Structure 1
Amino acid sequence: MISFPRLECWNNMTKMATVVAEVDKKRVLCRISSESLRVKFGASDDKLMQSVVQHRMVIQEAAKRLIERDDFQEDGSVLIQTADL
């Protein structure tokens, strides 16, 4: 089972938002770039995290599909790209 607690953060160095998925009681970090947030949702630089909150369901569904396909990065995270949304 995959669930999504309301945990998200912004990394200013990587310009990525991270939302957390819980998969079989393990946390999986699901990352989405500022570029994807701008392209898909029209997010401005000062409202990137607001965009994550506003489009939480779409982002979570994309993350869920990637997890179910075992599409993990080397570090165990999931990278949500514009085409995944």
Structure 2
Amino acid sequence: MKLEYIFAHESKHLPNCTYFSPSDRKSKTLNQTLRNVRQNTEEIQSFYQGKGIDTVLQLNPGNHYDHAAERTAAGIAWMLSR
């Protein structure tokens, strides 16, 4: 998801809530694109919060694939609790 696209285009339907679950290692990688994931995710979360959307940003230890099932389950459980 491109940060600029989100900020420049009005959504036809805004979600009631969003759950962001990036890994904490992305900001430390040598890959420039992945290095910006955490900062971009924080900006997107702030943007959605400014629109009144209930959001959470859960940083997870490890890389993108570590504990994927548990992370997905945590996100689904959080959204269903809303």
On whether the aligned pair clears a TM of 0.5, the verdict is no
Give the TM-score taking structure 1 as reference length: 0.28
Query: Is the strand fraction higher in 1 or 2?
Result: 1
> Relative contact order: is structure 1 or structure 2 higher (C-alpha 8 Å, sep ≥ 6)?
2
Query: Is the helix fraction higher in 1 or 2?
Result: 2
